[in-house]
Chain A
Amino acid sequence: EVQLVESGGGLVKPGGSLRLSCAASGVTFKNVWMSWVRQAPGKGLEWVGRIKSKTDGETTGYAAPVNGRFTISRDDSKNTLYLQMNSLKTEDTAVYYCTKYSTRDALDSWGQGTVVTVSS
């Protein structure tokens, strides 16, 4: 069974930085594409970005609201996904979920989420 466990959330001031981690188990991590999805309080789901496997070039892609501020990376030796968030804004306040891509391009495994609050 795939397990994804996020960590690193917390309270940060506008303009600050935070790095989230996602530890994966039960999957051959190096072979899978991964992404981050967020959900602002009381709102719907928003795809943040994704990283391909190393075999597929480890290419990243980001949603427009975070492009240039957020960076997704991975350490396959540690089975861990990262989300570096810089220049944080109040509108980045959300639960951040780590997700795994299936072979059919759906998001078939989700972590429990980590809360990020951006407030002065």
Chain B
Amino acid sequence: DIQMTQSPSSLSASVGDRVTITCRASQSISSKLNWYQQKPGKAPNLLIYAASSLQSGVPSRFSGSGSGTDFTLTISSLQPEDFATYYCQQSYSYLYTFGQGTKLEIK
């Protein structure tokens, strides 16, 4: 299986900050990388697909980049509603795997 490793596991930031979350794959996955946001007690929500494409309806302050094994999710200016847990997920192998998650908390 392809292992996905996110860093950091948790992050404290303030409203208006620029935040970057990193995801690393155990082998090259081309651009087959998706990002999800999950709020407590809710289902995850797709933010970014194919490493850098913004899902319809997602604010433009979210962006993704990377290819191969290293990827980033950037939030350009944190809003109160962005405090949540973020997961990366590879779709290169049919055996999908997720990162362990990054919990973004208010400083």
Contact = CB atoms under 8 A, between A and B. Distances in A.
Interface of A: 35, 37, 44-47, 50, 61, 63-64, 97, 102, 104-108, 110-113
Interface of B: 1, 32, 34, 36, 38, 43-46, 49-50, 53, 55, 87, 89, 91, 94-101
Contacts of A64: 1, 95
A47 B98 contact: yes
Contacts, number: 60
| Interface hub of A64, A105, A108, A111 (most chain B Cβ within 10 A) | A105
Contact of A105 (B1, B87, B91, B100): B91
Given A61-B94, A112-B43, A106 B100 contact: no
Given A44-B87, A45-B87, A64-B1, A106 B46 contact: yes
Contacts of A46: 98
Contact of B49 (A47, A50, A106, A110): A106
A108 B35 CA distance: 11
Nearest to A108: B46
Contact of A107 (B46, B50, B53, B95): B46
Contacts of B96: 35, 47, 50, 107
A106 B34 contact: yes
A106 B91 contact: yes
Given A45-B87, A45-B98, A47-B96, A104 B53 contact: yes
Contact of B44 (A50, A61, A110): A110
